[in-house]
Amino acid sequence: MDHNLRVYNTLTKQKEPFKTVVPGKVSMYVCGPTVYKPSHLGHMVGPVIFDTVKRYLTYLGYDVKFVVNITDVDDKLIVEAPKQGLSVSELAERVTKDYVENLKKLNVTGIDEMPRATHYIPAIIEIIQGLIDKGYAYPAAGDVYFDVTKDDDYGKLCNRDPEQLEAGARIEVSDKKRSPGDFALWKSAKPGEPAWDSPWGKGRPGWHIECSAMSMKLLGKTLDIHGGGLDLQFPHHENELAQSESYNGCTFVNYWMHNGLMRIHSQATKIKDAPSGPLSPVGSGIGGEGQPQKMSKSLGNEIVVSEIFKRHQPETLRFFLLATHYRRPIDYSEERLEEVRRGLDSFYRFFERLERVAKRSFYAFPSPPRDDGGGEFAEFRKRFLEHMDDDFNTGGAVGVLYELLSALNRFADLKQLEAGKATGDDVKAFEQGVVYLKELSGLLGVFSSAPEKPKADHASQKLVVGLMQLLIDLRAEARKAKNFALGDQIRKRLGELGVTLEDRPGGTDWRKD
């Protein structure tokens, strides 16, 4: 593969040249949600980021298989389902549907498989039995535990020794364990709980073993990329790693990629039942009064995605999530989303301008794969791709996309493209720049189709258009009669209402911010 991609690996804490197990192919596994409540914004971060990672790897020529699992049996589901008068599987189906619909709106198209944990029970039992046979696990009164003292390099992903790990707040306490750091591979079921037959009695799998089983069955023993939120690094990924490597005797993952978490400022939002003390065992420095806090269901400060879609276009949300480097936390605020929306508007306005110049829609422009057509705007393309090669720095790439937009607008001004005065070569150079914009924005998964216009009632929409034309005509009359003060006043007063007038050779257009 001919590329310069480097990927930050959480395990080695450095950027490494990207090489795959099988030449030309990439296996990528990302931990999905436990489906017990509607998706909140934090759930969308990983899928949007890794969908973009897949887009870029595909662009480089790789054949990528991308798996996101669904945890459809868990204590949280068992507690929540009866509250809603549903069975665990009915609740899981309902919440999964909501999750999938949100991903679709966000243009997350790259997921190849979404395995459900409950469909992999035989594989899970087989791996647990194998771990017992190899001496890494032990049954205890209907449960089965992984023995962390038997795994020499346990803790290597978080760089901690087992004694430190035992101090972690997330370790479940049980008197059936030999040592406190041991974790459950199989849990015995109480009456009425979902349960499957196993050599250790009726029960259900632990959370960590589900991911080891599903990734192994669908992608093989060694994954190229394993992704997930930073909060999953410990204990979830540490435990997946321990199970998989102890069972298979080979490397589980070549590149561990962890995305930063969505944070929300506690002063701006009511936090219900926020626990005191450290919120993250991996020391992301969050929590406390006035400090940004992680967005999560258990903190009760999550923002439900379907609610955001009532106020914002999905494209705004996708662009917002990609505007920050994926390893950094994303600070959510309504103001920030509004800022991103205004930024996107400048692209949409350019697309309108393009229609006037090129007489065709941006969405109808070709997007040839890896197209280096040279020309005036090739330098922007080069810099965009350099950012993507640098550990998928979408934040830097988004910045270059804005620069390309400004350069295209400047070029159109300078060459007076809208006045039809440009030469054929100028138009060609301009359109090559547009092809780059199309190619690069496609890598981020934006601008693939026109966003839905907000639905306004038809009659009032018609009235607004009529009144605006009236004002534009009056202003033109005033200017013709050299009454520039009145002309300027009309422009100024409209500006105060958020309406901008744009004078062009063919007349005056208006837009509302």
411-417 contacts: CB < 8 A, separation 24 or more? Answer: 411/376, 412/353, 412/357, 417/357
Closer residue to Zn ion (CB): 253 or 264: 253
Sequence-distant (≥ 6) Cβ neighbours of residue 135 within 8 angstroms: 147, 150
Q: Which stretch binds Zn ion (CB under 5 A): 157-165, 210-218, 317-325, 444-452?
A: 210-218
Q: Would you count residue 211 as binding Zn ion (CB under 5 A)?
A: yes
312 with 337: CB under 8 angstroms?
Answer: yes
Closer residue to Zn ion (CB): 211 or 388: 211
Q: Which stretch binds Zn ion (CB under 5 A): 23-31, 184-192, 308-316, 450-458?
A: 23-31
Q: Which pair of structure tokens corresponds to residue 494?
A: 């409209």
Is 265 in a helix, a strand, or coil? strand
Q: How far apart (Å, rounded) are the C-alpha atoms in residues 436 and 415? A: 19
The partner residues of 15 in beta bridges, in order of sequence, read 8
Which residue, among 274, 240, 243, has the nearest Cα to 258 in the 3D structure?
240
Nearest approach in angstroms of CB 120 to Zn ion is: 12
Question: In whole angstroms, how far apart are CA 326 and each of 7, 368, 446?
Answer: 12, 27, 17
Transcribe 55-78 into DSSP letters: HHHHHTT-EEEEEE-BB--SHHHH
Nearest approach in angstroms of CB 424 to Zn ion is: 56
Residue 266 Cα to chain centre, angstroms: 23
Closer residue to Zn ion (CB): 31 or 401: 31
Nearest approach in angstroms of CB 88 to Zn ion is: 19
Closer residue to Zn ion (CB): 40 or 226: 226
**x/- letters, 405..444, toward Zn ion (CB under 5 A):** ----------------------------------------
Nearest approach in angstroms of CB 27 to Zn ion is: 15
Tokens 């996708």 — which residue? 318
Q: Which stretch binds Zn ion (CB under 5 A): 29-37, 100-108, 165-173, 328-336?
A: 29-37
Q: Which stretch binds Zn ion (CB under 5 A): 83-91, 203-211, 373-381, 445-453?
A: 203-211
Q: How far apart (Å, rounded) are the C-alpha atoms in residues 244 and 246? A: 6
Count helices and strands in the chain by DSSP H and E runs? 15, 15
**11, 31, 140, 435: residue in contact with Zn ion (rule CB under 5 A):** 31
Q: Would you count residue 185 as binding Zn ion (CB under 5 A)?
A: no
- Binding residue count for Zn ion, defined by CB under 5 A: 2
Nearest approach in angstroms of CB 46 to Zn ion is: 11
**x/- letters, 364..403, toward Zn ion (CB under 5 A):** ----------------------------------------
Q: How far apart (Å, rounded) are the C-alpha atoms in residues 187 and 210? A: 12
- The total number of residues written for the chain in this structure: 513
Q: How far apart (Å, rounded) are the C-alpha atoms in residues 382 and 395? A: 15
Q: Which stretch binds Zn ion (CB under 5 A): 167-175, 208-216, 308-316, 408-416?
A: 208-216
Nearest approach in angstroms of CB 207 to Zn ion is: 7
Closer residue to Zn ion (CB): 43 or 475: 43
Q: Which stretch binds Zn ion (CB under 5 A): 26-34, 84-92, 121-129, 327-335?
A: 26-34
6-9 and 330-332 strand pairing: unpaired
Closer residue to Zn ion (CB): 211 or 398: 211
Q: Would you count residue 494 as binding Zn ion (CB under 5 A)?
A: no
Nearest approach in angstroms of CB 359 to Zn ion is: 50
Nearest approach in angstroms of CB 210 to Zn ion is: 7
159 with 119: CB under 8 angstroms?
Answer: no
Q: Which stretch binds Zn ion (CB under 5 A): 145-153, 209-217, 259-267, 370-378?
A: 209-217
Phi, psi angles (nearest 5°) of residue 295: -90, 120
Q: How far apart (Å, rounded) are the C-alpha atoms in residues 444 and 383? A: 15
Nearest approach in angstroms of CB 117 to Zn ion is: 10
Closer residue to Zn ion (CB): 31 or 108: 31
Nearest approach in angstroms of CB 214 to Zn ion is: 8
Q: How far apart (Å, rounded) are the C-alpha atoms in residues 318 and 398? A: 12
What residue ranges bind Zn ion (CB under 5 A)? 31, 211
